[in-house]
């Protein structure tokens, strides 16, 4: 019998076994991701209508770059930013930003309804993602939108082996075994949203160019360092392989396609309130 999503992973959790917020530089790692993706995220959120009058919920908000940009650039009325650890969110308060420390897998972690519910690079790390998506869909007000962004691995069996692909494979494998991270479902995200009762579901994909020194390149380098133990535990790579991949990533030899960001959205039926 196939294991259910909730059975996957070694029982570890994001932020406890890897990507611990108290580990120096974790905020910088999240911000490298933000530098690579924020413009794309904000363009999509604006295109979906985020602006004055909108009450928004940003879950797993990290350092809060999207939450703040929604307020400061898109002009939404308010953002409730939720994370299991709010040390980075609390550092720079802005008018309209409310911060809440909660585990979003807990039932009823927040009450109320929001015109926008947003989660970026969060569900991929949660083994109980189907249940969490159903709960997030419940939090969307009629006429509102749920927007989910997660990573998509664009390699397949024909992708030539490079130090990059070798270590990325070990990273996905190690994170899956350790904390239940899974990106295999991400291309089906529009169907997941439809299954949660949302309509007019759609998605788009963005792949940042993997050039030496770019934010995405630095993001992967830092992510590999922080998941080194999980990668080694797979037995598919050793320290030398990881070190070679780090050098490759920062060199003119690098010729690889980064994992992309798939952004999917779906609307709650009914007129906007
Ligand atoms: C990869 S970071 C993404 C941060 C931000 N959304 C972004 O895209 O810049 C994942 C975030 O989700 C948070 N997170 C992970 N599991 C969580 C949970 N069960 N409840 C609340 N937050 C969680 C982490 O603390 C972290 O801040």
Q: How far from chain centre, in Å, is Cα 57? A: 15
What strands lie across the sheet with 55-59, from one edge to the other?
97-101, 78-83, 55-59, 114-120, 140-152, 260-267, 199-206
Q: Whose CA is nearest to atom 10 of ligand 1?
A: 122
Domains of the chain from N-terminus onward: 5-152+180-208+259-267 (3.40.50.150)
Q: Using one digit for the tens of pLDDT, what is the confidence trace for 167-216? A: 999 999 999 999 999 999 999 999 999 999 999 999 999 999 999 999 99
The token pair at 13 is: 């959790």
Ligand 1 atom with minimal separation from the 103 CA: 20
Mean predicted confidence (pLDDT) in 244-261: 96
Q: How confident is the model at residue 8 (pLDDT cuts 50, 70, 90)?
A: low
Q: Of the residues 82, 84, 86, 227, which should be mutated to test ligand 1's pocket, given the most ligand atoms within 8 Å of the CB?
A: 84
Q: Whose CA is nearest to atom 2 of ligand 1?
A: 62
Q: What residues does 55 pair with on adjacent strands? A: 78
Q: Using one digit for the tens of pLDDT, what is the confidence trace for 142-180? A: 999 999 999 999 988 899 999 999 999 999 999 999 999
Q: Assess contact for 19 and 26: CB atoms under 8 A.
A: yes
Does this model's pTM top 0.75? My answer is yes
Helices (H) and strands (E) in the chain, counts: 8, 7
Q: What residues does 263 pair with on adjacent strands? A: 149, 204
Considering Cα of 35, then 80, then 121, then 205, what sign does the dihedral take? negative
């Amino acid at each position: 019998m196939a294991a259910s999503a909730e059975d996957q992973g070694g029982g570890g959790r994001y932020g406890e076994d890897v990507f611990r917020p108290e580990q120096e530089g974790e905020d910088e790692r999240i911000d490298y991701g933000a530098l690579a993706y924020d413009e794309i995220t904000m363009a999509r959120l604006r295109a979906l209508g985020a602006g004055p009058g909108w009450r928004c919920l940003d879950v797993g908000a990290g350092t809060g770059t999207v939450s703040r940009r929604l307020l400061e650039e898109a002009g939404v009325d308010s953002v409730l930013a939720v994370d299991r650890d709010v040390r980075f969110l609390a550092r720079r308060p802005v008018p309209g930003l409310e911060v809440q420390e909660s585990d979003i897998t807990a039932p009823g972690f927040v009450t109320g309804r929001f015109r926008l519910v947003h989660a970026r690079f969060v569900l991929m790390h949660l083994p109980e993602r189907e249940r969490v998506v159903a709960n997030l869909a419940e939090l969307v007000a009629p006429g509102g939108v749920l927007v989910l962004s997660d990573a998509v691995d664009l390699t397949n069996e024909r992708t030539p082996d490079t130090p990059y692909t070798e270590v990325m494979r070990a990273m996905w494998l190690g994170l899956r075994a350790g904390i239940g991270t899974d990106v295999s479902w991400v291309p089906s995200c529009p169907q997941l949203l439809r299954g949660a009762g949302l309509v007019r579901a759609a998605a788009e994909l963005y792949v940042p160019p993997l050039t030496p020194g770019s934010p995405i390149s630095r993001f992967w380098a830092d992510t590999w360092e922080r998941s080194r133990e999980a990668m080694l535990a797979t037995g598919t790579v050793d320290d030398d392989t990881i070190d070679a991949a780090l050098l490759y990533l920062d060199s003119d030899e690098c010729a690889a396609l980064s994992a992309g960001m798939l952004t999917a959205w779906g609307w709650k039926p009914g007129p906007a309130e």
